[in-house]
Structure 1
Amino acid sequence: MAAARAPFDLRFDSGRPCLDLLATGGGRLGEEPVERLTGPQQLRAWLLGAGVVPPGTPLGGVDAGWLGRFHAARELLQRVVHTEVDGRAADVDLERVNALAAIAPPAVLAVRAGDGTLVRTVAAAPDCDALVGRVARDAVELLTDPVARGQLRRCAGETCSLVYLDTSRGRRRRWCSSEVCGNRERVARHRRRAVGGPGRG
């Protein structure tokens, strides 16, 4: 069994929870996908980091069954989002996304924190279907919002398969992450220049 990846390997820079979920299984084209949701611990970290649930939400019930449900939802959303970026998703896949999105989300309450500020909490420990539905609903909102949909971009990295929301000034963001794919491209460009520099024939 592959070693579990630490929660800090998770990425939350795509701009939407549904796209952050896709990034947990994203990889470089032509290679085996990188699996970042390798166990319940990573799924708990992702749910909190992506803002699917408020901080402090009880997630003790997260188990291998939850992991399988989120993997399946990710595969479906990956297919729908990528197909919509390029053209039109299959109706059967949209129906499956809609069915997931129709599940009621966990009730969120406003409560006083120790310092008197209002913070979000859930009325009860959420179940898996409700949280999968929350992510599916985010995808529905993204794909049906003309402004947000117009900001969808595929990473310009030659070997990257990730999709992100470009909210940068002038819509000039090129990579899913400047630190990852952007840096990789800069290194590759430097190497190409070095190879083609003076003295090379």
Structure 2
Amino acid sequence: MVAWRFHSGRLCLDLMAEPPSDAGRLAQWLHTAGLVPAGTPLDAVDGHWVERFAELARDIDGLVRDELAGHGRYAGPRLDHLNALAAAPPPAPRAVPGEEGRLVRALTAPPDCGALLAVVARDAVELLTDPATRARLRQCEGERCRRVYLDTSRGRRRRWCSSEMCGNRERVARHRARTHG
């Protein structure tokens, strides 16, 4: 199974970039993204959850790309859906003693789809409504990459979603062009 890449700087942008395609991948994404504590059973995750997360990813994608393009067309079903999801209460955490006696995070009840969607939707609302954060949105300059990320680099000169992935591909392509061209 391919590991998830969390290089975007925001949870909502990471979901937008790689929406999970099946129940197993969604459960893995929820754990890896930190939406649920490690070891939390996710037996309820099914195709319906996958479709709901995919729909949220499409809404975020449309809103973020409108922002990047400077369209400012925010009213409509995407925004209404995002706000409706963000209004739900997120999962309630609690501190419990772990195996080694230290406190660890657990959820007060098994997570439901709406509560987990609310966490990602709230992250998108915060991103889209904070002018300073919005100003850091960038489209990866990688040739075949559509990932959007937050540029937190000094001088705001970051070009790729990940220097290890897209940046490395770009450097290899430039090297090949110089040596074989």
Q: Could you state the TM-score of these two structures normalised by the residue count of structure 1? A: 0.83
1:58 aligns with 2:53: no
Q: Give SS of 2:155's match.
A: helix
Q: Does 1:40 align with 2:23?
A: yes
Larger Rg: 1
Matches within 5 A, 1:117-128: 117-128=102-113
- Other-structure match for 2:125: 140
Looking at structure 2, the residues matched to 48 and 79 of structure 1 have their Cα atoms a distance apart, in angstroms, of 25
| Paired residues of 1:112 and 1:119 also in contact (CA < 8 A) | yes
The aligned counterpart of 1:34 is: none
**1:69: which partner in 2?**
52
Equivalent pair of 2:8/2:148 in contact (CA under 8 Å): yes
Among the aligned pairs, what percent are the same residue? 55
For residue 55 of structure 1, report the CA deviation from its aligned partner: 1.8
1:96, 1:12 → 2: CA distance?
24
- Work out which of the residue numbers 125, 147, 151 in structure 2 matches 1:166: 151
**Secondary structure of the corresponding residue to residue 65 of structure 1:** helix
- Residue 171 of structure 2 is matched in structure 1 by 186
Which sections of structure 2, spanning at least 5 residues, go unmatched?
none
Q: How many angstroms does 1:75 deviate by?
A: 0.9
Q: What is the aligned counterpart of 1:11 among 2, 5, 9?
A: 5
Q: Number of matched residues?
A: 179
Aligned residues of 2:11 and 2:120 also touching (Cα < 8 A): yes
Question: Counterpart amino acid of 2:44?
Answer: G
- After superposition, the C-alpha distances for 1:99-158 in whole angstroms (9 at most, x for unaligned) are 111111111112222223222111001111111111111100111122222221110113
State the match for 1:30 in structure 2.
Answer: none
- Using the TM superposition, give the Cα deviation of residue 7 of structure 1 relative to its aligned residue in structure 2, in angstroms: 4.4
> Do 1:12 and 1:49's aligned partners in 2 also have CA atoms closer than 8 Å?
no
Unaligned runs of 5+ in 1: 1-5, 26-36, 197-201
Which residue number corresponds to residue 176 of structure 1? 161
Secondary structure in 2 aligned to 1:105? coil
Q: Name segments (4+ residues, structure 1) moved above 4 Å.
A: none
